[in-house]
Amino acid sequence: MTPNLEVLDLSRCNNFVELLTPIECPKLEFLGISNSKMSSLNLERISQIQFLYLIDCYDFVELHMPVECPNLDILMLNGSKLRTFDLEMTPNIRILYFDGCCEFQQLRMTSECLKLETLNLTDSKLRAFDLGMTPNLQALYLNECYELHRLHMPAECPKLESLNLGGSSLRTFDLGMISNLVTLNLERCYEFQQLHMPTECPKLKSINLSGSKLRTFNLGMTPNLEILDLGWCYDFVDLHMPTECLKLKSLNLSHSSLSTFDLRMTSNLVTLNLEGCYKFQRLHMPTECPKLKYLKLGHSMLRTFDLGMTRNLETLDLEECLEFHQLHIPIECPKLKSLNLGRSKLRTFDLGITPNLEMLDFKRCNDFVELRMPDECPKLKFLDLSFSKLRTLDLGMTSNLEKLILVNCYEFQRLHMPTVCPKLRLLNIGGSKLRTFNLGMTPNLEMLCFKWCKEFVELHVPVECPKLKSLCLGHSKLRTFDLGMTSNLQNIRS
């Protein structure tokens, strides 16, 4: 007999199947039976409970409440097999979690749920949901409710800040009743076509509509928006910006049908993603983008691009811009770390002053003939110039280079490397016209390839390469090779 019991925690008792309460436990406030094998629980004798945790009880099918539980504050039933639940017996519930209740079909709301602050019904089988009177609701999670096609909000939710409807079957939604919303998530709502904003949403900071059927969006109703994700909205054609969007920091318009975009209205943007916009032809840049760090324009129809003043840019991706032939960059890009121009029509390129560059990708730039590098690229780690028309390359001071790929550069004849390349791990010059090569000091080299170098006759290894594991010399004219400097070699491939 435990009439004074206040806390009972049986969590992670994985074989626990039944809780017997022969007498009333009027003082029991906390009950935790998470990760058990319980299938049902009767709250009749513990009706004063405040916190009930039944998380990941995968066999749980029934919560019996014959009497009101007026003190119940937090109820967690994540991962159970419950199908329905009635809030009438929990008038003061504040936090309710049914996350991952894949069989859950109906939540019966009372006419007023005045204390409810957080409601999580993620991954349920709800088809329609009426929120009722929930004036203090702050967060509503209905994501991954794939069958949900209607959400009714009969009254204003003045405190609702976070609304997650991602993965639902909603087609339209009206923000009229939630003017103080901060975060809205409708990602992967593949049938979603229209978002109604009858009034301004001054507190809205983040909107995710990725994967929807939205065609247009007006930023004028969200003056403080910081994040907008419209990625994979294939039908999207127009982003209307009636005034400057000074708070917008991150904008994803990838895989849309946009043909142009004007950055001059978003002067504080940090991230812009226009990858996969196959109709995209022109990006209007302001004189200066002082905060832009990440710019992705790959797989577009851009032909030329002027970076302007983007002194804080770290990543520029123009991969697979098949018509692209000219890039104007400032003389100095002090923070640029990654530059991808693979499969473009560029012929020459001057790296200028890029002291922090780590990754440079020009693979399959079939017309590329010249790369002008500064005397020193101290942070360059990865360089891919495969399938280009380069004849020579001077790496200058690239002491941190880890991977150099020059495969199938059929005109390539000469490579100038630093005497010491202490971090070089992979070197592939297969398919070139090289005749001789001096490895210099490359103590960490693991893979070396000269396959299909038909004129190759001499490989000089002046010092030991203790980590070299793979060596490919097939179809070369090499006649001799001393294995003494490659004591850990595992395979020589033709």
Check residues 483 and 343 and name the one with the higher pLDDT: 343
As a whole number of angstroms, the distance between CA 187 and CA 207 comes to: 9
Residue with tokens 């895989």: 255
- Note the pLDDT tens digit of each residue in 291-330: 999 999 999 999 999 988 899 999 999 999 999 999 998 8
pLDDT tens for each residue of 413-431: 999 999 899 999 999 999 9
| % of the chain residues with pLDDT over 70 | 100
Mean pLDDT of 174-191: 95
| pTM of the full structure | 0.93
As for how many domains the chain has, the answer is: 1
Among 32, 34, 10, 183, CA closest to 100:
34
287, burial (CB in 10 Å: exposed 0-12, middle 13-18, buried 19+) = exposed
| Distance (Å, whole) CA 343 – CA 358 | 19
Q: What is the model's pLDDT at position 399?
A: 92
pLDDT at 449 over 70: yes
Of 12-26, 122-136, 139-153, 175-189, the poorest mean pLDDT is in 12-26
Question: Is the alpha carbon torsion for 445, 446, 449, 455 positive or negative?
Answer: positive
pLDDT at 181 over 70: yes
Q: Burial, 157: exposed, middle or buried (Cβ in 10 Å; 0-12, 13-18, 19+)?
A: buried
Q: Report the amino acid identity of residue 413.
A: Q
> Predicted confidence band at 21 (pLDDT cuts at 50, 70, 90)?
confident
Identify whether 56 is part of a domain.
no
Q: For the chain, give the secondary structure using H, E and C.
A: CCCCCCEEECCCCCCCCCCCCCCCCCCCCEEECCCCCCCEEECHHHCCCCEEECCCCCCCCEEECCCCCCCCCEEECCCCCCCEEEHHHCCCCCEEECCCCCCCCEEECCCECCCCCEEECCCCCCCEEECCECCCCCEEECCCCCCCCEEECCCCCCCCCEEECCCCCCCEEECCCCCCCCEEECCCCCCCCEEECCCCCCCCCEEECCCCCCCEEEHHHCCCCCEEECCCCCCCCEEECCCCCCCCCEEECCCCCCCEEEHHHCCCCCEEECCCCCCCCEEECCCECCCCCEEECCCCCCCEEECCECCCCCEEECCCCCCCCEEECCCECCCCCEEECCCCCCCEEECCECCCCCEEECCCCCCCCEEECCCECCCCCEEECCCCCCCEEECCECCCCCEEECCCCCCCCEEECCCECCCCCEEECCCCCCCEEECCECCCCCEEECCCCCCCCEEECCCCCCCCCEEECCCCCCCCCCHHHCCCCCEEEC
* Structure confidence at residue 1 (pLDDT): 55
Burial letters for 57-95: b for 16+ Cβ neighbours within 10 Å, e otherwise?
A: beebeebebeeebeebbbbbbbbbbbeebebebbbebbb
Give 287's pLDDT tier (boundaries 50, 70, 90): confident
pLDDT per residue over 356-415, tens digit each? 999 999 999 999 999 999 889 999 999 999 999 999 999 989 999 999 999 999 999 999
- Using one digit for the tens of pLDDT, what is the confidence trace for 227-260? 999 999 999 999 999 989 999 999 999 999 999 9
State how far the Cα of 272 lies from the Cα of 349, in Å rounded to an integer.
24
> Is residue 408 one of the residues assigned to a domain?
yes
Instruction: Please report whether residue 477 resides in a domain.
Output: yes
472 within some domain: yes
End-to-end CA distance of the chain: 80
480 Cβ neighbours under 8 A, 6+ residues apart: none
Amino acid symbol at 362: F
Q: With contact defined as beta carbons under 8 Å apart, do 39 and 26 qualify?
A: no
In this prediction, residue 53 carries a pLDDT of 98
Radius of gyration of the chain (CA): 31
CATH number at residue 387: 3.80.10.10
Position 487 in a domain = yes
pLDDT band at 481 (very low <50, low <70, confident <90, very high): confident
Q: What is the mean pLDDT of residues 51-70?
A: 96
pLDDT of residue 330: 85
Q: What is the mean pLDDT of the chain?
A: 94
Per-residue pLDDT for 441 more than 70?
yes
CA-CA distance, 259 to 106, in Å (whole number)? 45
pLDDT at residue 197 is higher than 60:
yes
Say if 485 falls within a structural domain: yes
Residue 340 belongs to a domain: no
Q: What is the pLDDT averaged over residues 124-143?
A: 96
Average pLDDT of span 182-207:
96
What pLDDT was estimated at residue 248?
97
By the 10 Å C-beta count (0-12 exposed, 13-18 middle, 19+ buried), 173 is classed as buried
Please report, for residues 211, 318, 339, 392, the alpha-carbon distance to residue 372 in angstroms, rounded to integers and kept in the order given. Answer: 41, 19, 14, 11
Tell me which amino acid residue 265 is. M
Which tens digit of pLDDT belongs to each residue from 252-282? 999 999 999 999 899 899 999 999 999 999 9
How crowded is the C-beta side of 366, counted as CA atoms within 13 Å?
A: 5
323 belongs to a structural domain: no
Q: What is the pLDDT of residue 494?
A: 67
Domain range spanning residue 474? Answer: 376-494
